[in-house]
Amino acid sequence: MTDPREEFAQLEPQSEFGGVHDAFQRLWTPHRMAYIQAGSDANRGSGCPFCAAPEKSDDDGLIVHRGESAYVLLNLFPYNAGHMLVCPYRHVGTYDEATLEEIDEIARLTQTAMRVLRETAGCHGFNIGMNQGEVAGAGVEEHLHQHIVPRWTSDANFFPIIAQTKALPQLLGDVRTAVAEAWPA
């Protein structure tokens, strides 16, 4: 039996540009460059997506609720349909830099988001958390945000593991409308 690693090493380059074929499929997502560049040192603060969102309409900013010191929006790159973020309006990087008012409102908005997602999406549970700093996985480390990820029994499948792809059954606009309409006054 031939060792697959040996076969892999013998593959010819894929194109005139060089490189060797690997086992990964490519899903080209050039629209993510705006998101990635917003977090770079050169754009710190000026290109922050969480500072820009409240300046847009609710539809364009994917905002489902605006509070006094914090707001709720859908994640543009969700792990699951209904994945929301709670952000302070103020450009602050970490939880310990937030004011007591911001912390209180982030907590209350998180509770409300959970109730609304149970009602609108029928989810069975949640992953809730904050990634503080690039080393901890924060995609936009300079602006504090809490993730609320709805979960359903058997919602994980082979796609993320084998195909490195996440299938989302609902469009962001449809989710935003349902959640915003169900948000208590």
Q: Residues with catalytic annotation? A: 145
> Which 8-state DSSP code applies to residue 139?
S
* Paired sense of beta strands 84-88 and 125-129, if any: unpaired
Tell me the C-alpha distance between 170 and 185, whole Å. 25
* Paired sense of beta strands 146-151 and 125-129, if any: antiparallel
Length of the chain: 185
List phi, psi (to 5°) of 168. Answer: -120, 120
Across 95-125, b (16+ Cβ under 10 Å) vs e yields: eeebeeebbebbeebbebbbebbeebbebee
Tell me the C-alpha distance between 109 and 30, whole Å. 32
Q: Yes or no: say if 53 and 61 are a contact pair by the CB < 8 Å rule.
A: yes
